[in-house]
Amino acid sequence: MEEVLTNFARRDGELYADQVRLADIAAEVGTPCYVYSRVAIERNFQSLSTAFEDYPHLICYSVKANSNLAVLNVLARLGSGFDIVSGGELERVLRAGGDPAKVVFSGVGKTKREIEQALEVGIRCIDVESIAELQRVNALAARAGIKAPVAIRVNPDIDANTHPYIATGLRQTKFGIPMADAIAAYRLALDMSHVAIHGIAAHIGSQITDTTPFTEALDRLLRLIEDLEEIGITIENVDIGGGLGVRYRNEQVPDSKNFVTALINAMHARGFDLPLIVEPGRSIVGDAGVLLTKVEYVKSNVVKNFAVVDAGMNDLIRPALYDAWQDIVPLVAESESKRNRYDVVGPVCETADVMGKDRELDVVEGDILAVCTAGAYGWVLSSNYNSRPRPPEVMVDGDQFYLIRHRETIDELCAAESILPE
C-alpha cells in the first residue's frame, strides 16, 4: 500500500524529514518521540496564504492543534495570527512572539480572568458563544474602561460529515449561539456601552474533507449579515473557523487553493467582499509531524500477531479516542514478501491502547516505526496515564534538528504533588 508521507521522504529506503535521517533522531533522543518539519509547517502556511492572493484575509493558526512554543514561533515569524481557547494558549502565543492584535479567542467557557487577560493585552476579537458571555465581556470591559472587540460565534447547524466527537456546527452541540437567536444577540451587543462589533464567527468541525459544508456555512453567515444590515448593523469580518482535513489514509482532501477559492466564490456569489478569517490547525501541522516509536516485543496468540511498541495511548490518543487511522511505517523500508499482519499496540493497561489494527508489517524487536500525520492533536492530547513521562518533541530545520521539548522526567511528574503531614 502507498505510504501517507507528504512531508517525509524515503531515500535509499530510509525515512527523512527534510535533510535529517529520522533514525539519527531516534538514536540521539530515544523513543517515543515526536518529530516536526519546519519546512513542512512553513509550506502549509504559505500555500494557504498564497491561495488568498489579494483577497483580504487573516490566518489565525489554531493553537490547540500543536502548541509547542517553537511551532508557534515559526508561524509567528511568517506573520500568522492565532486562534486560542484559553488563557494558557494566549500566554504561549505571547511567549512565542505572536502579535496579540492578530489573536481571536473562541471557547464556550471563558473565565473572567481569561477575558480580562485578553482585554489587557489587546487581542483582535473575542468570539462570544452565549448571551451570558456577552454580558460578562461588556461588564469587564467597562471596568477596564475600554471597548471589547467581539464577534458573535453562531452555530450554523451544518453537518460537517465528520466524526461526531469533532463535529461542532450542529445545533445540538454546545458551541455558539443558535442562528435563530443571533439577531437578538447583535442587537444586544449594539446597545452595550463597552463592546464593539468586530464581526461574525463560526466553526463547524474538524477533519472536513469537502468544501461544501464550509461554503454552506459561509452562505448562512452571509444571509445573516444581510438581515443584520437591514436593521442597521454592519459586520466587517467573517471568521469561518478551522476544520480543513488532511490525508490520514485514502481521503481526498481539497488543497488550500480549492478551499480558499470555494470560500471566495461563496462570498462573491452573495455580492460580498468581506475580509475572511480562517482558523486552521490540523491542515498546518498535521502532515508536518510523525511519532517515532520502537518495537519492544513481538508476540502472537491464536488469532493475532502483536507488535508491542513503546508509544501508548497516553502519547497519542487519536486512534483510541476516535478510532482514527494513522499510518504506521517502518523507518527502514522492508521487503514486501516477509510481511505479516499485526495489531500495533502500546504498553498502557487498557484494551483501547491500540495504535493501529491489522497492519501489514515486517517487524522484529528493536525496529523503529513512524506513526504518520501526528503533527496535530498528538503531543497536545498526551497525558501521564500509567505514570508515563510525556515524550520529547524535535523540530527538523534543514540539515539540523533541535530538541524543542525534552522528555519529561519522573521527578517532573512528581514535583507538583505532596503527601500529608505525619
Tell me the catalytic residues.
349
* # of chain residues touching ligand LLP (CB under 6 A): 23
Residue number, 226 or 251, with CB nearest to ligand LLP: 251
Binding-site member from 81, 280, 289, 346 for ligand LLP (CB under 6 A) = 280
Binding-site member from 81, 176, 243, 356 for ligand LLP (CB under 6 A) = 243
Minimum distance between the CB of residue 307 and ligand LLP, rounded to whole angstroms?
23
Cα(293)–Cα(285) distance, rounded to whole angstroms? Answer: 19
Q: Where are the alpha helices (H) located in 372-420, listed in sequence order? A: 410-415
Q: Residue 155, interface with ligand LLP (CB under 6 A)? A: no
Q: Residue 316 — left, alpha, or beta (φ > 0 → left; ψ -120 to 50 → alpha)?
A: beta
Peptide bond into 32 cis (omega under 30): yes
Cα(9)–Cα(407) distance, rounded to whole angstroms? Answer: 26
CA atoms within 13 A on the CB side of 257: 1
Minimum distance between the CB of residue 362 and ligand LLP, rounded to whole angstroms?
29
48-77 residues near ligand LLP, rule: CB under 6 A: 62, 64-65
- Catalogue the E-assigned strands of 363-399: 368-371, 393-397
Cα(51)–Cα(39) distance, rounded to whole angstroms? Answer: 18
Residue whose C-alpha is closest to residue 311's, from 263, 383, 245: 383
Minimum distance between the CB of residue 276 and ligand LLP, rounded to whole angstroms?
14
Residue number, 348 or 368, with CB nearest to ligand LLP: 348
Say whether 335 sits in a helix, a strand or coil. Answer: coil
Residue number, 213 or 242, with CB nearest to ligand LLP: 242
Minimum distance between the CB of residue 422 and ligand LLP, rounded to whole angstroms?
44
Cα(204)–Cα(279) distance, rounded to whole angstroms? Answer: 11
Say whether 37 sits in a helix, a strand or coil. Answer: strand
Q: Residue 166, interface with ligand LLP (CB under 6 A)? A: yes
Q: Residue 276, interface with ligand LLP (CB under 6 A)? A: no
Neighbours of 362 (CB within 10 A): 15
Binding-site member from 318, 359, 388, 390 for ligand LLP (CB under 6 A) = 318
Minimum distance between the CB of residue 366 and ligand LLP, rounded to whole angstroms?
30
Q: Residue 207, interface with ligand LLP (CB under 6 A)? A: yes
Minimum distance between the CB of residue 116 and ligand LLP, rounded to whole angstroms?
21
Q: Residue 45, interface with ligand LLP (CB under 6 A)? A: no
- In the block, cell 462570544 appears at 128
Which span (11-19, 236-244, 360-368, 399-407) binds ligand LLP, by CB under 6 A? Answer: 236-244
383-422 residues near ligand LLP, rule: CB under 6 A: none
Minimum distance between the CB of residue 126 and ligand LLP, rounded to whole angstroms?
12
Q: Residue 241, interface with ligand LLP (CB under 6 A)? A: yes
Q: Residue 213, interface with ligand LLP (CB under 6 A)? A: no
β-pair partners for 402: 395
Binding-site member from 44, 68, 80, 106 for ligand LLP (CB under 6 A) = 106
User: Taken in order 42, 47, 52, 54, is the CA torsion positive or negative?
Assistant: positive
Cα(107)–Cα(221) distance, rounded to whole angstroms? Answer: 19
Question: What are the residues whose beta carbons fall under 8 Å from the beta carbon of 409, sequence distance 6 or more?
Answer: 389
Which residues of the shown chain bind ligand LLP in the complex (CB under 6 A)? 62, 64-65, 83, 106, 166, 168, 203, 206-207, 241-244, 279-283, 318, 322, 376-377
